[in-house]
Amino acid sequence: MHEGCSGSFQTGKEVVDKIRMMGFSKQYMPVPLRIQCKECGETFDMETFEDHCPHCKMVYGVTPCHAFDPENVRAAGKDY
C-alpha cells in the first residue's frame, strides 16, 4: 500500500526497498544533497533517491517527499 508522505520506516533498507518498489531509485532528486557517509566518513553528493558512497559502496536512500534535508537520508548497507 502506498502511504504517501506519511509512511514511516524503521530501517534504511525499508526506505531503499520502498523507493525501488515505487520506481524512484534511479531518478534524480530536485537538488543533490551533500552527505557524509556513516561508514567511511567521506562526503559526497547524493544525486538520485538511491545512491551510494563512491568510496566504500554504502547504499543510501531517501523518499521523494523527504529529499529536501540530508537528515532524512538513511543508510541501507554496503552494496545493498
Q: Which is more confident, 65 or 8?
A: 65
Cβ(29)–Cβ(49) below 8 Å: yes
Determine how many CB atoms are found less than 10 A away from the CB of residue 50.
20
Helix (H) or strand (E) segment spanning residue 74? strand 74-78
Instruction: Give the residue-averaged pLDDT of 40-63.
Output: 97
Percent of the chain with pLDDT strictly greater than 90: 88
pLDDT digits (tens, 9 = 90+) for 47-58: 999 999 999 999
At residue 3 the predicted structure's pLDDT band, cuts being 50, 70 and 90, is low
